[in-house]
Chains A and B, each alone.
Chain A
Amino acid sequence: METSDKLIQVVDLKKYYNGDAIKALDGVTLDINRGDVMVIIGPSGSGKSTFLRSLNLLEVPTSGQIIFEGVDITQKKGPDGKKLNIDKHREKMGMVFQHFNLFPHKTILQNMTLAPVKVKGVSQAEADAKALSLLERVGLADRADAFPIQLSGGQKQRVAIVRALAMEPDVMLFDEPTSALDPEMVGEVLDVMKRLARNGMTMAVVTHEMGFAREVGNRVVFMDGGKILEEGSPEQIFNHPQNPRLQDFLSKVL
């Protein structure tokens, strides 16, 4: 099947506000393949976060298709003719937010096991074991019983990443994961993301970290005005940018 290596196909995605006065997304077409580490860059308000948040329908697009693992999740009905249950598809798309969004009334371990137990029906013991091994991988096993408020920003974001991983997603979406962090904590979060990429996780990352884009990304997408203006390998984008807007953008951020 042709879709086998295409994990997500986005076709002519549009998101308008106030009728069509504000075009946050203005016809975005893009494929994300299995194993891709796609980094989306662009100035503020370029639509890159809106695009990422559309992929799991946190933003409902005005028109266009999002075909995830062969199913168009923008449709009301699934391929079996029944009402499409977006929750089933969201399970397989992990998401990491700029402001972590850990659940403050639950411990780190509870944060990580809640969805596996309640949504996937994993036993509590199994979920605990899995969560602990994930926490171990990001060096936070000793904080399992802490509450989010007791953690630093970098630690919170690492927990947010493994919380998403605990659902064993097929793709991870990162929405400016280091933008709310103190500079000295950016590195520890990027390290976790790098390791994830090396282990073959499919990732879509909206970020201002150009170093990460260049080093870890295999594809870089430049967006502005709700459109993709240029797309290519990090080498192409950073060393041989074609679009004048991209050239201008890079001259300011590099």
Chain B
Amino acid sequence: MNFATIGQNIVKLTIKYWDKFLLTGLGYTLSLAFITVCVGAIFGALIALLRMSKFPPFKWIAAVYTEIIRGTPMLLQLYLFYFALPQLIPFLNKKQYLCVAIALVCNSAAYVSEIIRSGIQAVDIGQTEAARSLGMSQRLTMTEIILPQAVKNILPALGNEFIMVIKDTSLASTFFIGDLMTQCLLVKGATYLTMEPLIMVAVVYFVLTYGLSKLLGFFERRMRRGDIR
């Protein structure tokens, strides 16, 4: 491997294909990750509610769902959704981006539901007991006492989930969705260069996730400072 040539090639590729990486690729990756986390958080919250419900069948459904999603590889889930969804719902035919987004959402929802559930259950049981002993209903206890405290456990973990999802979206390139990794494959195909596009995309991913995790750390510290006041 000749590092000097690789360096030169990277400069050339950057000039020629920068828009493919930084506009198209980054755009698809970020939008996919953003949709996944936002919609995944909503569904995750619903699944967490089911999981904590007093009605056993709800509990089982949620438990089975999360266990299956967490117990099978993400790539496999992508394939399943990609091929099964258009057959089940004709509307999704030829809409690869949507199919992949749905698969990612379903995957992320399972993980997010566990984040929310553990965040809620990490709040000291004494808080519930104190609230209930004051005559507060279960609902009031949840909204006034438990959730405000649980949010402090949940938000940092949700941020980490966002970073995980950004990296997971690279699997979507299997179906040439247009994300960063897809651009990497396209440039590789067009130029017959292997190392260079890989290195370039790696840099973009790293800057993105590292920057985000620093940002999260900043917010987390601010939130903890709010605790002490």
Q: Give A contacts to B, CB under 8 Å.
A: 56, 58, 87-88, 90-95, 97, 99, 101-105, 114-115, 118-120, 147, 149-150, 160, 163-164, 167, 173
Contacts and interface: CB of A to CB of B under 8 A. Distances in A.
Given A101-B126, A147-B229, A149-B227, A87 B136 contact: yes
A150 B136 CA distance: 25
Interface stretch (B22-30, B94-102, B144-152, B182-190): B144-152
A79 B124 CA distance: 34
B228 A163 contact: no
30 contacts: A58-B129, A58-B133, A87-B135, A87-B136, A88-B135, A90-B132, A90-B133, A90-B134, A90-B135, A91-B134, A92-B135, A94-B134, A95-B130, A97-B129, A97-B130, A101-B124, A101-B126, A101-B129, A103-B127, A103-B130, A104-B227, A105-B149, A115-B131, A118-B140, A119-B136, A119-B140, A120-B135, A147-B229, A149-B227, A167-B135
A73 B136 CA distance: 16
B137 interface: yes
B134 A163 contact: yes
B133 A94 contact: yes
A93 B133 CA distance: 7
Nearest to B228: A149
Contacts of B149: 104-105
B25 to A, nearest CB: 42
B154 to A, nearest CB: 14
B144 A114 contact: yes
Contacts of A114: 134, 136, 144
Interface string B212-229: 000000000000000111
B143 to A, nearest CB: 10
B144 A101 contact: no
Nearest to A95: B133
A87 B131 CA distance: 10
Contacts of B227: 104, 149
A56 B133 CA distance: 7
Contacts of A90: 132-135
A92 B134 CA distance: 8
A147 B229 CA distance: 8
B132 A118 contact: no
Contacts of B130: 95, 97, 101-103, 160
Contacts of B127: 101, 103
B136 A118 contact: yes
A90 B148 CA distance: 23
B107 to A, nearest CB: 32
Given A95-B130, A101-B130, A114-B136, 7 more contacts: A88-B135, A94-B133, A103-B127, A103-B130, A103-B131, A115-B134, A150-B229
A91 B127 CA distance: 16
Interface in B100-138: 124, 126-127, 129-137
A163 B136 CA distance: 13
A103 to B, nearest CB: 6
B126 A97 contact: yes
B139 to A, nearest CB: 10
Contact of B145 (A87, A103, A163): A103
Interface string B159-194: 000000000000000000000000000000000000
- Top 8 nearest A-B pairs by Cβ distance? A91-B135, A101-B130, A115-B134, A95-B133, A101-B126, A90-B135, A119-B135, A87-B135
A16 to B, nearest CB: 21
A95 B130 CA distance: 8
A194 B174 CA distance: 73
B151 to A, nearest CB: 9
B141 to A, nearest CB: 10
A199 to B, nearest CB: 21
